[in-house]
Chain A
Amino acid sequence: MNGTLFIYPDYEVVRDYDKCIACRVCERQCANEVHSYDPDLKKMFADNTKCVNCHRCVCLCPTHALKIVKSDNTYKINANWDNQTINEVYRQAGTGGVLLSSMGNPKPYPVYWDKMLVNASQVTNPSIDPLREPMETAVYLGKKNAGIERDENGRLKDTLPPQLKLSVPVMFSAMSYGSISYNAHESLARAAEELGIYYNTGEGGLHKDFYKYGKNTIVQVASGRFGVFKDYLETAAAIEIKMGQGAKPGIGGHLPGSKITDAVSTTRMIPKGVDAISPAPHHDIYSIEDLRQLVYSLKEATDYKKPVIVKIAAVHNCAAIASGIARSGADIIAVDGFRGGTGAAPTRIRDNVGIPIELALASIDTRLREEGIRDNVSIVAAGSIRSSTDLLKAIALGADACYIGTAALLSLGCHLCRSCHQGKCNWGIATQRPELVKRLNPEIGYRRLVRLVTAWKHELQEMMGGMGINSVEALRGNRLMLRGIGLTDRELSVLGIRHAGE
């Protein structure tokens, strides 16, 4: 026994042969080559060992003859050594490698969004019907701590630093061209433009075709500096310095050479076919004063016309870090919780490093207020905002807006199979293979994104109206609108909310 042990697959393809018409769509659509047709038997077969459970075949099967089920194969039941833990040991013993995973932390940590309840008006304060009354969801992100100055006629001068205007407090998270496809980027860019919000290039540069969406684009400057040059910075509405990512705090990125196609290579300004490595730290930022220099370098380069965002992963001392960032000249802080997605991360890091966004957001907002510097920055929360209620609760905890990544990808077809790192995304999202990329038609994709955010906006308005709030500004930091359910005193105190019934 020197090589790899056979490991029984976690999921099985179940085909209802009574329904299967052997049209072979499943076979043609599976980049993992799970399905095959036997012309002699005139039957379809499936190789479960290759299945990643992406549901492409399930969705496209015209007679709904397919489903994927959890395998009931098991080792002896062991509460300590569960099947997955044992299999991971076998894998590592076979390969000697670091385990890789994609998308957000799937472990059963507490999801605090689901332990907070929202208030509504009764009797003393009327609820407001968003179908009859204006219900405002627009927000401006940026520094608010400007002085009052007047011109010779006594009118107020606009002393505010540059702001980002959002029609809804939602933006699309940083996802690089390279980690996701051209068509995924086009979908995000067009949706951002139509919605009056922003998408984020991630650390992959900006494809020349997408410069026309510049006014809805946030460009990222990360530790690898891929694709960063003058036009890139000048085209964007805002610039984001990526210090960390919720899914993998403390480490950099690694885009395998197989994903560095001609276009990705040109956009990133790196050689074709060679692995793109983003270092763990920025090698010109070893402390907060260095960050300040980069913030001001970028502002100098763009004539102080664009807000600078600093994105950090939610880690244990993030409140203190945020306080430092709020004094660094940054206009906006983005905080990414440990359930945030990724195109590839070491499994151990994704599953064990960082803290939930709910706690990080609450402690950062509290800390900045205690220090009287909340107006220095806007706060953007990220790292698994799954629904309009997560969004609403994040705003009530203190966020100015939220980034959504996974939810946006889901609306493009992603089924969270968490195999992005394999580059064979059957939905045309996390892949650079042309025959797979074309599966995501941006005409369809962008409309689905627009519909998702529009639906969330309606729900947000409905819930705000129920609380008697007709402008999202009055929801921000309004923690009395939240109550905890089933939380300890310490959790309530970190979240800064009371328990239900109090």
Chain B
Amino acid sequence: MLLEGQERIPSGCAVTGVIDRSGKGMTGEDMIRSIAVMHDRSNGLGGGFAGYGIYPDYSDFYAFHLFFDDGAAKTATEEFLGRHFEIAYASEIQTRKIPEITDEPLIWRYFVSPLSRKLESSHLDEREYTARCVNKINTYIKGAYVFSSGKNMGIFKAVGFPEDVGRFYKLEEYSGYSWTCHGRYPTNTPGWWGGAHPFGFLEYSVVHNGEISSYDANRRYIEMFGYKCNLQTDTEVIAYIFDYLLRRKKLTLTEAAHVVAPSFWSTIARKSKEDQEQETLLRKMFSSLLITGPFSIIVGYPGGLMALGDRLKLRSTVVAEKGDKAYIASEESAIRVIEPDLDKVWAPAGGEPVIFELYGGRK
């Protein structure tokens, strides 16, 4: 049987996310309760979480989370890391042994910073340098997989139901200002830990529900710019698209949303002249990054969350606010279970981005 990455695997899913815009910390427990309500939207073949603001003591370092198949992969990776980064701290990620989660690989965490000499001679900016190193490990070191690589954020994922994955990773011990979570329903998978979501690339993380029909058009385009879609999953390509548009092309989140889920031409024609010009330009410039087919995603980034659904609204998304907190989920029940008394609940239109950020803005 082909492993994830050797074959393209469609999947249905559940997503949920929360942010405290005052910047106050929350443990991952609410997310576990929220996703557990949507148990039937997963099938036990993948679950995961992303937390932002969880490593305040190491906020200047890239936090690499890695899966190793064996000690040899770990040795090779550490040797690679040693040549490219200063490693501030390395340790095994603490987990709780529970019967629901089995066959775990070696799971390690490294706080790293690019070696200044190497960085200088590469003529790349720090993030691009780090991004390329992550791609190298994932492409060339057999049995090693970096599944989280941003600063002051971390992804935790595994094969299993998401609520079990949360307990496995002891998420009650982490405190972050925002969280996203994902429960997976792949239609066919041998169950590989790296294939679970969220998918992260540097500080961007994506959880996604849907199956995009534009996948190969998007993949073949984005791979022109040095990305390698090793997993052949939608979430991976979506994460790369956002990294490309936000980090490399310096588009705003709303502009990026207009690229991946643009208004129909007929809708654009009804907008103001200025909006027409901007949205037409984005569609012309990045036409190969338009995503079709059903999706609802939550993009996590330092200081914010963005919810975005496909332009036909083929997947559900509900957003809500209560005081400083804002919620995004596939189903309203997943929000109500952690906050029954909401100030405001609404369902965004297809292709309409909803952005919640810390009061101070993006970090």
Contact = CB atoms under 8 A, between A and B. Distances in A.
A121 B286 CA distance: 25
Contact of A155 (B11, B249, B274, B291): B274
A134 B264 contact: yes
A478 B61 CA distance: 38
Interface in B292-328: 292-294, 311-312, 314
Nearest to B215: A480
Instruction: Give the one of B221, B274, B293 with max A CB within 10 A.
Output: B293
A459 interface: no
Contact of A467 (B213, B250, B282, B294): B213
Contact of A479 (B220, B251, B290): B220
B224 A474 contact: no
B221 A477 contact: yes
A474 B217 contact: yes
Interface string B200-227: 0000000000111111111011011100
B102 interface: no
A372 interface: yes
Instruction: Give the one of B212, B287, B294 with max A CB within 10 A.
Output: B287
Given A124-B11, A144-B285, A477 B220 contact: yes
Contacts of A471: 290, 292
Interface string B235-265: 0000000000000011100010000000011
Nearest to B248: A148
A272 to B, nearest CB: 45
Nearest to B245: A148
Contacts of A374: 221, 224
B136 to A, nearest CB: 18
A474 B312 contact: no
A481 interface: yes
A400 to B, nearest CB: 9
B43 interface: no
Contact of A160 (B220, B225, B281): B281
A396 to B, nearest CB: 8
A353 interface: no
Interface stretch (A125-133, A200-208, A344-352, A487-495): A125-133
B235 to A, nearest CB: 14
Interface SS of chain A: loop
B285 A473 contact: no
B278 A156 contact: yes
Nearest to B282: A156
A75 to B, nearest CB: 51
Instruction: Give the one of B221, B225, B284 with max A CB within 10 A.
Output: B284
Contact of A148 (B216, B225, B251): B251
Interface string B1-17: 00000001011100000
B187 interface: yes
Contact of B312 (A124, A133, A479): A133
B333 interface: no
A160 B264 contact: no
Contacts of B255: 156
Given A124-B12, A144-B284, A470-B292, A477 B225 contact: no
Contacts of A126: 294, 314
B287 to A, nearest CB: 4
B60 interface: no
Interface in A330-381: 369, 372, 374-375
Interface in A446-502: 467-471, 473-481
Contacts of A274: none
A473 B217 contact: yes
A148 B250 contact: yes
Given A156-B278, A158-B281, A474 B221 contact: no
Contacts of B312: 128, 133, 470
A480 B9 CA distance: 12
Contacts of A125: 10, 210-213, 293-294
Given A138-B265, A375-B224, A469-B214, A474 B281 contact: no
A312 B264 CA distance: 34
Nearest to A468: B213
A478 B224 contact: no
A140 B284 contact: yes
Given A125-B213, A140-B287, A369-B220, A469 B10 contact: no
A474 B220 contact: no
Nearest to A135: B264
Contacts of B290: 471, 473-474
A416 B250 CA distance: 54
B189 interface: no
A177 B262 CA distance: 41
A160 B220 CA distance: 22
Contacts of A138: 265
B135 interface: no
Nearest to A119: B213
B10 A124 contact: yes
10 contacts: A124-B211, A125-B211, A134-B264, A369-B220, A470-B312, A471-B290, A471-B292, A473-B217, A478-B216, A480-B8
Given A128-B312, A372-B224, 10 more contacts: A124-B11, A144-B286, A156-B278, A160-B281, A369-B220, A468-B292, A468-B293, A469-B293, A477-B220, A479-B216
Q: Which 9 A-B pairs have the closest CB atoms?
A: A474-B214, A480-B216, A468-B213, A478-B217, A473-B287, A474-B292, A125-B211, A124-B10, A134-B264
Interface of B: 8, 10-12, 187, 210-218, 220-221, 223-225, 249-251, 255, 264-266, 274, 277-278, 281-288, 290-294, 311-312, 314
